[in-house]
Structure 1
Amino acid sequence: MEIRGERECKDCGQHWSYYETGNVSCPSCGSMRSVGVGERERHTAAQVSLELTDHRTAVADGTIRDAAPALKSDLREFVRKTGYIHGGELLPLDDTSLAAHELLHAVDVVARSNRPTDDEEYFVLELLRGADEDTRPEPSSVPDSLSDARGLAYANAIEAYHHDLSGWLDDHPDKEARTTLGTLSNHLKRVEALEGDIPVSESETLVRVARDIYTYLTTDDLDALASARDQLSSLA
């Protein structure tokens, strides 16, 4: 979506950045009568943050199964609104997004299980502790029974990033990046067809590839592009 990032209030003349507030109402007088000014820029990053404090309390006071419906609702809202282009600027694939996608899948698995294991419950709690602080569990800590959840979750997260990255490349053409992105897309389709049934190490490789493409595009680092390609080749 391309929008004019600066807005002007028609009642009091106040100027503000829609990119920063995500709101068309005037921050000075509250009027809804405003117009966009300036150049249009691609913008997908809504003003959204992940807040899990209440859900941590709910789990502490009850069970993961009891807390799951409200938690999953908030996680779905977060991942739906998360974007990676801010006023034309490409953003990186962050750990909060990855952890939110994984928590959504993992808590669903545990909540539906008649007898979740201690390892499964501990892993969900670990995700719940760090997802809103831009941290995610190490690959070695993922229980075997939740490796498919990580595989599918990361594929979903990277696919959302891929979508925005593809749009950004429409505005900033780069043939080499486009080709590499196409190869990444093929791997994501395979993971989704397998319903996430891939080694945890492969999920991590796909994350590194997406981040290497970002590094190449934002810093002209050819080594990062070569790294992305080499890692994709290792998955073939």
Structure 2
Amino acid sequence: MLIDNGHDASEVEEGTPLRFHITHAPGSNFILVQSLQPDAAGRLTAIYDGAAYVIQLRTVAADSVASIIFGKAEVATAKRVEAPPEPVKFSPRIGLSLLDRARAYPVLAKSLPKAVEGVTLRAQNRKVVLPDLEITVQEVYRFSKEDAVVFLLRLHNTTDRTLELAPSTFAARVAQERFEQSIANGPRSLEPGATADAEFAIVGLPDGNRNDLSADNAFTILVNTTRREALAANVTPTPSPEGSQP
């Protein structure tokens, strides 16, 4: 390939079998590539933003003009709601109220709508598969006034051992952000193949600011589990019949 900076003339020895002419002016954000031979093929490596991009080049007879634009990959972040009100100070009473209202939402929405005013419901029914546990995220509720997100879950033990669970370790992760539970309720143990319901709420942030999490996020649910060791069965030896040889 003949590579130049777009300003100075480039010299090559006569008879050099050049396949492509590459032009890249220093500091510019584009590269021009021109084919010099029919049926030519080659490989061009471009370094951009700390990554290497390998471009396969091939001369074609028709539609011989093409372009490609490299852009920085967008880093996914948790979605936030708009126009947030003032932070709400968490208390156990508020946490228990959130869990109760989330479980009773269908009834409250019909009989006492003021109790769930400003609440957003997203029925997700998404499955999160952990090494020992399958978690179905049934519903996610956003309580705007309390700046809280409540998760209603179904847990399924996928092992052949009893699982010990720690509800206090429930957390929700979105992209690279992790949000620890403020209050949680769930089983402490789960038999092999058993299923049970659990719930937890994230209220604000630990520093007292708002989290402003949207219920539309694709949350990954995390919880600490340990497998209970199988107990060896106690077998009492059967005495040999009288007179028999051991």
* TM bracket, shorter-chain basis: under 0.3
TM-score normalised by the chain length of structure 2: 0.17
- Tell me which protein shows more strand as a share of its residues: 2
TM-score normalised by the chain length of structure 1: 0.18
Larger gyration radius, structure 1 or structure 2? 2
